[in-house]
Amino acid sequence: MTPEFIVGFAKSAVEITLLLSLPMLGLGMIVGLLVSIFQAVTQIQEMTLTFVPKILAVLAGLLMFGPWMLNKLMVYTAGVFTDFPQYIR
């Protein structure tokens, strides 16, 4: 194994991790921003108000993006296992 291979393998692992987490993090950020604007406008400073909409948004995002995320993860994992003999050389 060369250093370039290890860096490339780590890079692809980080890329797939970011790609899979981006929809959930993005939805959580957007909903959090909307709730914070709502709190600023109405001057309601309830701490628990931010959690429920974020949880529901992330759950809805998992339902929407779940099959796509699972497909990406399965393709990546299958590629890792397929290329495994090349890794140990």
- Enumerate the domain spans of the chain: 3-87
Q: Which residue has the tokens 């929809």?
A: 23
Per-residue pLDDT of 74-87, as tens digits, reads 999 999 999 888 87
- Report whether pLDDT(19) > 90: yes
What mean pLDDT comes out for the span 50-75?
94
DSSP state of 47: G
Nearest to 61 by CA among 27, 21, 34: 27
How far apart are the C-alpha atoms of 16 and 3, rounded to whole Å? 20
Quick one: pLDDT band at residue 32, thresholds 50, 70, 90? very high
Provide the pLDDT for residue 53: 92
Of 21 and 85, the one with more pLDDT: 21
**C-alpha count within 13 angstroms, C-beta hemisphere, residue 45:** 1
